[in-house]
Amino acid sequence: MDGDARINPYLTGNFAPVRSEDDFDLPVVGEIPRELRGALFRIGPNPQFEPRDPNHHWFSGDGMVHGFYVEDGKVRYRNRYVRTPKWQAENAAGRSLFGSFGNPMTTDPSALGQDSGVANTNIVWHAGRLMALEEGHMPTQMDPGTLETIGYAEAYRGRTTAHPKLDPVSGEMVWFAYGVGDMPLSAGMSYGVTGADGKVVRRDDFQAPFACMVHDFMVTQNHVLFPILPLTASLERAMSGKPAFAWEPEKGAYVGVMRRDGDVGSIRWFNTEACYVFHPLNAWEEEGRIVADVMRYDAAPLFPNADGSPGRKTAARLVRWTFDLAGNSDAIKEEPLDDLDGEFPRVDPRVETLRHRHGWYAADPTNGKTIKQGAIAHLDLTTGARQVYALPDGDLTSEPVFTPRSADAPEGDGWVTAVVWRAAENRSDLLVFEAQDIARGPVATAAMPRRVPFGFHGNWVSL
């Protein structure tokens, strides 16, 4: 499969699925700190069967969870499919049934109207539950030890985001959903809150300025920010054979700002020039303003234009958005923070919603405007100093994940873990770095006997 250039690029190389579910003890080179105990959970798309959609999109594959369990300097690996209703239906049929994003035009008639959730985008721990997330369905609860699928968290009463925010002060999980309502690909959205005890305490619906892919959002101690950017959604377009999601810069770009305890009718819409943001680094409040550091693209990558023509080749860079809540202008002030192409930005989770100093991200040291990142970067936003660890040529990294050294360690004092693909050997490694000494390279490497396909997000859980 990997060498067949005629098939979809999202099914080749390290995008190609690994369909075995395995358990391995991993040999370690170097020394994993004894204090580092827990698990790095990663998730990504991994189609169970060959997709039926000739235009299969990477984002549409079945979710597979990869667990790296670390204890006493040793590493165990386990991977399992998220057994969603879609996975179960296709497993019983022995073939693919659903089109990309559940597109009815490319879905088998027997599966029309059925649950097409893939649970492939993020995996988070909150209130003692490990949950696999995506943007169109409820969270799917997983057993953190066995990675067995427990099932939907029904209390969410519908679709949720793949990117909730965990408030380190209150313990709440703040989340949203898009495409809400009876009509697929609609402008309907929800705002929700889950208490520290795991109970959903709020879910309110509202209408965005237009229907679009809202992959992530920002949360501060007192506000939520909803980015409505022109990667638009259209059922009519999809039914005509054109892309369900496409780049339409003429729609403009908006960010809705609302108090967390406010009514959805009070959202204030700020604006900026057309752009796209998959992932913010963090956001906080200071002196009547909201400040958000985000990875900004000039145009949405990976998606076509509305007429189906290929989209622009573009990459993201870290910028700072400032929202003046006391001012009369609804324009977003923007200033650059870094000149290195990057993605998957992360902070110390203990400062999410609060002002941060340190950030880590996957980077492209060549600034080649690609989604493939061959380096890991650390940026000190107080001093402006940047450290970069470049992987050997051809190797590529996943999202770097920060873990604090202890609960009361200073911000940024801890480790960063990342899964990297070794291109020449076509397999993967787990790397462990000292978080503020990235340029030194990994202090430990746990070697996989095979590869972990490119995925999306991961989080560290202290089990």
Query: Residues comprising the binding site for Fe cation?
Result: 163, 215, 279, 457
As a whole number of angstroms, the distance between CA 251 and CA 273 comes to 10
Q: In Å, how far from its chain's centre is CA 448? A: 23
Residue 90, φ and ψ in degrees, nearest 5: -70, -35
Amino acid residing at 382: T
As a whole number of angstroms, the distance between CA 82 and CA 173 comes to 22
Other CB atoms within a 10 A radius of the CB of residue 5 amount to 6
As a whole number of angstroms, the distance between CA 70 and CA 240 comes to 50
| CA geometry: angle 155, 159, 161, nearest 5 deg | 105
Helices (H), 106-183: none
Tokens of 76: 């165990």
As a whole number of angstroms, the distance between CA 461 and CA 36 comes to 11
Torsion 185-188-194-198 (CA) sign: negative
Helix (H, G, I), strand (E, B) or coil at 250: helix
Cβ pair 210, 232 in contact under 8 A: yes
As a whole number of angstroms, the distance between CA 218 and CA 433 comes to 27
Q: Residue length, the chain?
A: 463
Binding residues, by number, are 163, 215, 279, 457
